[in-house]
Amino acid sequence: MGLQVYIDGKFVPEDEAKVSVYDHGLLYGDGVFEGIRVYKRRLFMLDEHLKRLFNGAKVIRLNIPVPLEELKDKIRETVRINEIDEGYVRLVVTRGKGDLGLSPFKCGTPNIIVIASTIKIYPDEVYRDGLKIITVATRRNNPDALSPQIKSLNYLNHILAHFEVVNASADEGLMLNDQGYITECVVDNFFIVMDGKVITPPTNVGALHGITREAVFRLCAEHSIMIEEQNLSLVEAYMSDEAFLTGTAAEIAPITYIDDRPIGDGKPGPVTKRLMDAFKEYRENNGVPID
């Protein structure tokens, strides 16, 4: 039996889950989304994800057609129906059906889609041995043109960068802004460790305000690890003692090589390992129950 997907106000088998060819989410990437992890039948950092979703929708003047608490119920119900104990939820809100013109004012009711399934980005050995990443030529979109704080359906910038990662047989890509500062990885936030201090690019250079990124700030405070936001150049990344990335799907993963340069001794460092262990404990004991 296949998965059940919540779409257009009802649950349908995944093979029957369809959107109109006139939906502006399809035609123009007009919409927002979130990826939410499920651990031990709990939705991890659900409130933070939904806050980001509603804030992004507000910026693009997309009226989510159900109240926040009702949307929470639909997400929990989708996870329950699909019997997901450990997995991933993709929550999508599109502008809805319109015409072939660009105007969002000709669209009807926005469409809410909730998919609950499983996901695994990296094999287990990555978390033991670390990632080898490259710097890609594709620059991150200028935040003055399209803010990264809007988690929109238009991911073409990321996809073009991902081509470069695949062509180089790398694990991930590091993206720069038009000033040459590091923004983030293709789909994850980026951190380095220097002299025991964790450093990550500020969001105003072109980095997403990641939910797992936020968790790292909390964990650093709880474990007395210094952390700060700072513009980072590639040279500083090459010279760092440790590096790691964070994301909802990736969680916290160590980076051991950047552009064929070993980071530290080329192995996951002690601060990274400490944060990985702390995150594992944190995720196991927090979240909104689905029952």
Residues 81 and 164 in one domain: no
- Tens digits of per-residue pLDDT, 20-35? 999 999 999 999 999 9
Residues 154 and 232 both lie in one domain: yes
Domain region containing 56: 4-117
Q: Which of 64, 87, 117 is the last residue of a domain?
A: 117
- Per the domain annotation, does 110 fall within a domain? yes
Q: Which residues are catalytic?
A: 151
pTM above 0.75, yes or no: yes
One domain, residues 100 and 177: no
Instruction: Report whether pLDDT(254) > 70.
Output: yes
Residues 264 and 168 in one domain: yes
User: Tokens 């992004």 correspond to what residue?
Assistant: 56
Output the DSSP codes for 102-156.
S-GGG--SPEEEEEEE----S-HHHHHH-EEEEE-SSPPPPTTTS-TTS-BS--H
pLDDT at residue 1 greater than cutoff 80: no
Q: Within a domain: residue 151?
A: yes
Residues 266, 132, single domain; the answer is: yes
Check whether residue 149 and residue 203 sit in a common domain: yes
Number of structural domains found in the chain: 2
Cα separation, 275 vs 187, in Å, equals 20
Q: What is the mean pLDDT of the chain?
A: 96
Strands 10-13 and 31-39: unpaired
pLDDT value at 216 more than 80: yes
CA distance 99 to 225: 52
The model's pLDDT over 48-61, given as tens digits with 9 standing for 90+, comes to 999 999 999 999 99
CATH number at residue 203: 3.20.10.10
Of 117, 143, 164, the one marking the end of a domain is: 117
Which DSSP string corresponds to 206-275? T----HHHHHHHHHHHHTT--EEE----HHHHHT-SEEEEEETTTEEEEEEEETTEESTTSS--HHHHHH
Q: For 77-81, 119-123, 149-153, 228-232, which range has the lowest pLDDT when averaged over its residues?
A: 119-123
Residue 290 maps to a domain: no
pLDDT band, very low/low/confident/very high, at 271 (cuts 50, 70, 90):
very high
Where does a domain end: 117, 141, 159? Answer: 117
Mean pLDDT for the stretch of residues 73-90: 97
Identify the pLDDT of residue 194: 98
CB 288 within 8 A of CB 47: yes
Structure tokens at 134: 């490259």
